[in-house]
Structure 1
Amino acid sequence: MAEDGTPSGRILAELRRRIASGELAPGERVPSTRAITREWGVAMATATRVLSRLREEGLVRAVPGVGTVVAGAPATAGPPAALVAPGGSTGPSGTAVAGRSRGGDRGGERTGDRELSRERIVTTAVRVADEEGIAALSMRRIATDLGVATMSLYRHVPGKDELLRLMTDRVFGEEPLPDPLPAGWREALETVARVQWRIYRRHPWLAGTMSFTRPVLAPDAAVHTERTMAALAGLGLGVEEMAQASVTLAAFVCGLAVHFEREAQAVQDSGMSADEWMDRQDVEERDQLMADPERFPMFDALNRGPEIDMSLDALFAFGVARMLDGIGAVIARRSGRG
């Protein structure tokens, strides 16, 4: 990595300064990649390279359940336990080596390897995805944060596809559906949709990993379909219609929620919120475009009216209500009231 006037060089120099001066003390968490992108306005890849270089230099280390912290410890403590293997030694940068291995994917078993579990792997994966986006997630990255060999992860999780399935099940299980759901079918379906919306908002990466043609077998996610279909039972719909109504509603929520991750990435790349970005556009050019009543008569009427709410939450509320209106119309036809 260049250490001159490039963005990565400047960030690296600044973080080195903070560590050397004690501004970032040993054991204190350093800025995450997402925090670096926000503070310096750089791409995620640049932030990732900066932290990787600091790890290579032994200035920072990964602590399970905490993140990347400044290396070093109180005088009574030795090297990070998660990086030390029985009979191993400490390398030049403070990284433990086992036998002839220097902490790579080969060599003796580390203490962290023996303490590893599927639960810890999934917890770390969800944290990385939440903080830095799904693009930052890899088995190697998880191993680095846990202080273990990458290959040791595969004893607990066969691969990334299985990891995503476990992550999906985990986050859907964080907020179980109310039991029982509201008595009315419409209220029940709206409740399910709102729970899904909150889950996607807390975990912006999730919507982009969901598939409705090749769904993952995640029990805590599948229960949403089960409970939605149950709320529609006995209303004159066939099993196929109940399933299609349930999945279509979930697909709408997921499709709109994809923009949580896109907006988070846009904020990182531009350093501006959606409102700030709109304010920075060429107002005169935009107004001329939208004020052409012959080409854009509806936009012209829109510009002359009161300000409207086009936020994701507003679009979600409108869209869910209209989808429930449509399901209600089908139910009415099946019952002879249509």
Structure 2
Amino acid sequence: MSAERVPLTRDRIVQSALGLARNEGLAGVSMRKLAQELGVEAMSLYHHVPNKRALLILMADRSLATLPPSDPNLPWTDRLVKLLDGIFHAGVENPAMISVLASQQLDPTELEASEFSALTLIESVLAILSESGLAVEQRVHVYNTLINLVYGFVLARTQGLALSPTKIAAMDRGRGSGSWESFPALGELLPALDAADPAVDLRFSLGLYVEALAGLLARGN
């Protein structure tokens, strides 16, 4: 007797897509490959998810829904750093999430069953910035800068895109030279640079950025 066929649901589709993204990166997620993973025809997916963009939003929703709520008793600067740090860690687990936020391709009319966690999160970031007293144009600059900063650190962690000193050293040895005498500043920091954690670097960068914002506001913009 054949095994009972597991019903195809939106939840199964999203869960399988998240697995593909973790194993092959966001570029590895396609409706065709997803159908193969689930053992169904590609057209059957469209009864549950209208298109790949909708799928990415649903994937983002799944991760964003796990973020802890913001503590209203904290200063806006602390809440902003904690929220963005949470986005980073969720983005490392699910690259679709940070891609959706960075592209800002969100339309509430496209997904009737979505909880719109991505839209809610964007609203949360912008609501915190609205408390800062920054002008509208400044908030736009700050939002775009911070989201792309987080996006860059997610890429550094998940795809190893940063050119680390170890990679530089390997290239240097490939040229027949292993000496750092010509690069004393780099040589001095080499061990610490190789041991650097993108998550720690991000928190440091966010701290500097929001501190600069607070200083800007204190000077009256």
User: Normalising by structure 2, what TM-score?
Assistant: 0.77
How many percent of aligned residue pairs carry the same amino acid? 26
Separation in 1 of the partners of 2:24 and 2:58?
Answer: 18
Separation in 1 of the partners of 2:141 and 2:52?
Answer: 29
Separation in 1 of the partners of 2:47 and 2:202?
Answer: 41
Compared CA separation, residues 155 and 334, structure 1 to 2 (3 A)? same
Compared CA separation, residues 193 and 169, structure 1 to 2 (3 A)? same
| Structure 2 equivalent of residue 197 of structure 1 | 88
Alignment of 1:81 with 2:4, yes or no, is: yes
Compared CA separation, residues 137 and 277, structure 1 to 2 (3 A)? same
Matches within 5 A, 1:12-91: 78-82=1-5
Indicate conservation of the 8 Å contact 1:188/1:228, yes or no: no
Matches within 5 A, 1:1-338: 78-82=1-5, 115-175=7-67, 177-204=68-95, 206-207=97-98, 209-210=99-100, 212=102, 214-217=104-107, 219-263=116-160, 282=173, 285=176, 287-288=178-179, 290-292=180-182, 299-304=183-188, 307-309=191-193, 310-334=196-220
Indicate conservation of the 8 Å contact 1:181/1:191, yes or no: no
| Residues 77-131 of structure 1: CA deviation (Å, up to 9, x unaligned) | x23433xxxxxxxxxxxxxxxxxxxxxxxxxxxxx5xx22222211111122112
| Residues 165-185 of structure 1: CA deviation (Å, up to 9, x unaligned) | 21122222232x424345211
Compared CA separation, residues 136 and 306, structure 1 to 2 (3 A)? closer
Separation in 2 of the partners of 1:182 and 1:145?
Answer: 45
Separation in 1 of the partners of 2:24 and 2:197?
Answer: 23
Q: 1:234, CA displacement in angstroms? A: 4.5
SS of 2:187 mapped into structure 1: helix
Separation in 1 of the partners of 2:96 and 2:177?
Answer: 32
| Residues 12-70 of structure 1: CA deviation (Å, up to 9, x unaligned) | xxxxxxxxxxxxxxxxxxxxxxxxxxxxxxxxxxxxxxxxxxxxxxxxxxxxxxxxxxx
Indicate conservation of the 8 Å contact 1:197/1:253, yes or no: yes
SS of 1:258 mapped into structure 2: helix
| Structure 1 equivalent of residue 111 of structure 2 | none
Separation in 1 of the partners of 2:21 and 2:69?
Answer: 27
Indicate conservation of the 8 Å contact 1:237/1:334, yes or no: no
Unaligned runs of 5+ in 2: 109-115
Q: Which has the higher contact order (CA 8 A, sep 6+)?
A: 2
Q: 1:287, CA displacement in angstroms? A: 4.0
| Residues 262-315 of structure 1: CA deviation (Å, up to 9, x unaligned) | 23x99xxxxxxx798677662894543x422xxxxxx31342468324432243
Indicate conservation of the 8 Å contact 1:143/1:153, yes or no: yes
Q: 1:247, CA displacement in angstroms? A: 3.2
* Partner AA of 1:291 in structure 2: E
Separation in 1 of the partners of 2:35 and 2:132?
Answer: 51
Unaligned runs of 5+ in 1: 1-77, 83-111, 267-273, 293-298
* Partner AA of 1:125 in structure 2: A
Separation in 1 of the partners of 2:166 and 2:130?
Answer: 47
